[in-house]
């Protein structure tokens, strides 16, 4: 039996590059002024999919304001860095991570994102 998935996944689920924006922890300098952490941008290969109705309903019940939401399955990249992330950039837009299931020991990562308002299109 062949484990090759060629021909079984259609073009709808094509992989795309996703830039994950994480930040190192900030600190206070010698004068007590807050110094924000540095930005870490990491490029991942991912598959994006729309949320199912039930997933969207659960987020809305939790009080999340959802403009445009997607599920992102990470196909390659450092999953440990992904745990520190706040935002994702793909399709020319910036997205907030609102839910995640990251299991580096299983090489599995699914994040749910919502697009930020009022961005140039």
Domains of the chain: 17-115 (2.40.10)
Residue 53, token pair as written in the block: 């109705």
| Rounded mean pLDDT, 4-13 | 47
Residue 8, token pair as written in the block: 């079984």
If you average pLDDT over every residue of the chain, what do you get? 76
For 24-62, the pLDDT digits (tens) are 777 888 888 888 777 778 888 888 888 888 877 777 776
| Rounded mean pLDDT, 77-92 | 78
Are the beta carbons of 82 and 68 closer than 8 angstroms? no
Which residue bears the tokens 């839910």? 99
Handedness of CA 94, 9, 74, 103 (dihedral sign): positive
Q: How far apart are CA 116 and CA 103, in angstroms?
A: 26
**Phi, psi angles (nearest 5°) of residue 19:** -100, 120
Are the beta carbons of 76 and 35 closer than 8 angstroms? no
């Amino acid at each position: 039996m062949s484990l090759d998935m060629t021909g079984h996944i259609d073009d709808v689920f094509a992989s795309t590059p996703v830039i994950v924006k994480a930040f190192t922890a900030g600190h206070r300098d010698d004068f007590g002024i807050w110094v924000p952490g540095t930005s870490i941008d990491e490029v991942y290969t991912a598959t994006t999919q729309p949320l199912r109705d039930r997933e969207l309903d659960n987020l809305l019940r939790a009080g999340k304001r959802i403009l445009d939401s997607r599920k992102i399955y990470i196909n390659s990249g450092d999953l440990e860095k992904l745990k520190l992330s706040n935002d994702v950039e793909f399709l020319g837009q910036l997205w907030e991570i609102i839910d995640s299931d990251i299991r580096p020991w299983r090489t599995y990562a699914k994040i749910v994102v919502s697009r930020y308002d009022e961005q140039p299109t």
